[in-house]
Homo-oligomer: A and B are copies of this chain.
């Protein structure tokens, strides 16, 4: 059974407040504002528990550590800022990509990542 602890509350609060996918390190830094003694191992364990609860989902981007965001979002994609390294949600999706799939292959899902500069980093 799950217990309600300061540490796990701090982890959830950090993810709710961010509104964008966070890496374990980003979660640690944000949550230490609430619980300064928080350790990185606790973040990893808390994240895993929240994933198993279905409260969080993984956001894996190429060449970057896994990030996590709340699971209450519809299908969407991500924008990765090459300057500040933050990741933002993209609401739209161009829809089916079945026409790209080679003959004989079975398409199950897809991921689209946009790269560039976010509004804070664009000149």
Contact = CB atoms under 8 A, between A and B. Distances in A.
A75 interface: no
B122 A116 contact: no
Interface stretch (A8-16, A31-39, A42-50, A92-100): A92-100
A117 B100 contact: no
Given A62-B60, A97-B94, A99-B92, A109 B105 contact: no
A interface residue count range (under 10 / 10 to 19 / 20 to 34 / 35 or more): 35 or more
B77 A105 contact: no
B108 A115 contact: yes
B88 A102 contact: yes
Given A92-B100, A119-B105, A111 B62 contact: yes
8 contacts: A62-B62, A79-B102, A90-B100, A100-B114, A101-B116, A104-B122, A106-B122, A107-B114
Interface of A: 58, 60-63, 66, 77, 79, 82, 88, 90, 92-94, 97, 99-119, 122
